[in-house]
Amino acid sequence: MTIKELQDNVDNWIKKFGVRYFSELTNMALLTEEVGELSRHIARTYGEQSYKKETNSRELIKEEIADIFFVLICLSNQMNIDLTKCILESIEKKTSRDSERHKKNKKLF
């Protein structure tokens, strides 16, 4: 599935089940909430914190990443942003800016 198809699928879902998009401000707050939830699972899986009970942390992490992507798609759709174009432009920017930077970073070796 392409990113455009994902954007269309989310738009169709919103129209069918969500009534309308939440405001950009609400979606930004939801995005922040979802990133916080992902952070909690990452901290408990890879950091010093632990879960209170046995948990499939990989599944929880996958769910949160999907939730984050869903909200990002919602924000992109409601602001008429083509995510494919955005990502390609970002890769181009990073390539021109960082093509040698990381190769020269001794901390990475």
Query: In this predicted model, what pLDDT tens digit does every residue of 38-85 receive, in sequence order?
Result: 999 999 999 999 999 999 999 999 999 999 999 999 999 999 999 999
Task: Please name which of 21, 35, 32 lies closest in space to residue 79, comparing C-alpha atoms.
Answer: 21
Share of the chain above pLDDT 90, in %: 95
pLDDT score at 99: 86
- Per CATH, the architecture of 3-108 is what? Orthogonal Bundle (1.10)
Can you read off the two tokens belonging to residue 65? 């990443």
Predicted local distance difference test score (pLDDT) of residue 95: 94
Q: In this structure, are residues 73 and 14 in contact, taking their beta carbons and an 8 Å threshold?
A: no
Nearest to 10 by CA among 87, 94, 58, 68: 68
Give me the residue spans of the domains in the chain. 3-108
Cα separation, 59 vs 57, in Å, equals 5
